[in-house]
Structure 1
Amino acid sequence: MIPDDFRKFLMDVRARARAYLRPPEGGSLTTAEERRRAFQILFLSLVCLGSGQSIMFAILPPLSRDLGLSEFQVGLIFAISATIWIFSSPYWGRWSDLYGRRPMMLMGLNAFGISTLLFASVMWFGMHGLLWGWLVYPLMIAARSIYGVFGSGTFPSAQAYIADRTSREERASGVATITAAFGLGVALGPGVGALVARIDILAPFYVVSVAAFVSALAIYLLLPERTAPKAADTVPAMSWRDRRVLPFLIYGTALNSVGALPIQLYGFFLMDQLGYGKEQAAEFSGVGLMASSIAALLAQFVVVQRFRLSSRALVQWGGVIALVSNVLFVFGSSYGILTFAMVLSGLGFGMARPGFAAAASLAVRPEEQGAVAGLVGATGGAGFIFAPIIGNFLYEFEPTLPFIVGGVLMAGLLLYAVFNPTMRNMSDDVPDTPESGIPKS
Structure 2
Amino acid sequence: MELQWIATLLLGALLLLLATGVWIGPALLAVGLLGMWFADAPAGSILATTAWSSSASWTMTALPLFIWMGEILFRTRLSDDMFAGLAPWVERLPGRLLHANVLGCGIFAAVSGSSAATAATIGRISLPELKSRGYPESISIGSLAGSGTLGLLIPPSIIMIVYGVAAQVSVARLFIAGVLPGLLLMALFSGYVMLWSLVNRGAVPRATLKMPLAQKLRATWRLTPVVLLILGVIGSIYGGYATATEAAAIGVVGALLIAALSGSLTRATLLESLLGGVRTSTMIFLILLGAAFLTSAMSFTGLPAELAKWIAAEKLPAWALIVALTVFFIVLGCFLDGISIVLLTTSVILPAVQAAGIDLLWFGIFIVLVVEMAQITPPVGFNLFVVQSLTGRDIFTVAKASLPFFLLMVVATALVTFFPDIVLSLPRAMTAR
State the TM bucket, normalised to the shorter chain.
under 0.3
- Report the TM-score when normalising by structure 1: 0.27
- Report the TM-score when normalising by structure 2: 0.27
